Amino acid sequence: MRLLTLVLALSLTTACSRRPQGSPPGGAGAPIPVNIGEAERKDMPLDLRAIGTVQSVATVGIKAQVAGELISVNFAEGQDVKKGDLLFTIQPRLYSVQLTQAEANLTRDRAAAENARREAQRNVELGAKGAISKEQLDQMRSSADAAEATVKADEALVEIARVRLGYTTIESPIDGRAGALKVQAGNLIKENADDPMVTIHQLSPIYVAFSLPEQHLGEIRSAQLDRKLGVTALDPKAGQPLADGELTFIDNAVDTTTGTIALKATFANNDHTLWPGAFVDAVLHLRVDHGVTVVPASAVTVGQHGSQVFVIKDNFAELRPVTIQRNVGQEAIIEKGVEPGEKIVINGQSRLMPGSKVVIKPAEARSASL
């Protein structure tokens, strides 16, 4: 019995020693199917992405500067208007009468001033002959000067009345789009009321405001000295480009609460794709890194010693530690560890060990598995 037990133990030990280390459970030395890609040398953009808010370059709330009955509204809600277009007309009769009154007072006082000036001139000649006293002559000169001052005051009142009459027609101060109408014809309008009668937003050009971490400030400022930095506005849901513009504003201070710097990009927006108040994804095109080594991001895994990839040589897997500079979409830029042209595993790494034999799946199988 002892001899039989010893023979069985030796047989089991020999069988175990014949199984290659690292062989997969499915069978000793069976190749592991993987999908592969290739490291490439490419030019890769460095883009900084943030949530942006569309803002009007100019927003004007239209208010009446004179009171009166609103007799006409000369635009429709949501209509595009040009600078100088007539928007509202307020009943002008009262202000027209005030202007007429001011002009009449001016005519009267001008006649009085002219008469006082002629009288003073005659008295100067009489004073030279000693016909009147010096005190009387000074008094007449003062009266003439006072009459001239009254004329100047009347001229100012005429101008005020003319300006107030002009305020009875309200024109658009900017090109833009009119919002919701807050008053209707026939209403009595207050002078400088709290709420605007309508608000006009300029749509072209337009701003997109966004913020980026302050760590990028130095690079942004340096790049802006060399060229204009482009900015793309993306649909936040679909990710599709909406418009292209350029960076035109960098705030003069970092927000100490958030550690970010405020930026603005200007877009022509001739087709009115961007709308004030809407959220977009703002992508700042900072620079392009030329001739860098790029691999599919799915090839990079994390091991005990950091980032790593499996490189295929002669149908065997070689594990390589790599240094990642940054990811761009579905690709990773490699600083060191892989050279352009090398084949790398992009799917099936979980079954691999260093030195594993592999079999490469055809493109059709790879597409189906992905």
Please say whether the beta carbons of 262 and 248 come within 8 A: no
Mean pLDDT over residues 110-117, rounded?
A: 88
Express each pLDDT in 199-232 by its tens digit: 999 999 999 999 999 999 999 999 998 899 999 9
CA distance 273 to 264: 17
Q: Is the pTM of this model over 0.75?
A: no
Express each pLDDT in 29-75 by its tens digit: 688 999 999 999 999 989 999 999 999 999 999 999 999 999 999 99
Is residue 101 over pLDDT 60?
Answer: yes
- Choose the weakest-confidence range: 15-29, 101-115, 177-191, 296-310: 15-29
Express each pLDDT in 348-362 by its tens digit: 888 888 989 999 887
| Domain layout of the chain by residue ranges | 28-44+291-369, 47-57+204-288, 65-90+169-201, 93-166
Cα 197 → chain centroid: 28
Q: Please, what CATH class does the domain formed by 65-90+169-201 belong to? A: mainly beta
- Choose the weakest-confidence range: 14-28, 157-171, 261-275: 14-28
Q: Do domains 28-44+291-369 and 65-90+169-201 have the same CATH topology?
A: no
Give the pLDDT band (50/70/90) at residue 140.
confident
Is residue 155 over pLDDT 70?
Answer: yes
Q: Return the higher-pLDDT residue of 370 and 116.
A: 116
- Out of 2.160.10.10, 3.20.20.140, 1.10.287.470, 1.10.1740.10, the CATH code matching 93-166 is 1.10.287.470
CATH number listed for the domain at residues 47-57+204-288: 2.40.30.170
Q: Return the higher-pLDDT residue of 276 and 366.
A: 276
Identify the CA nearest to 32 among candidates 18, 22, 41, 45: 22
Is residue 25 over pLDDT 60?
Answer: no
Mean pLDDT over residues 313-330, rounded?
A: 90
Domain 28-44+291-369 matching CATH 2.40.420.20: the answer reads: yes
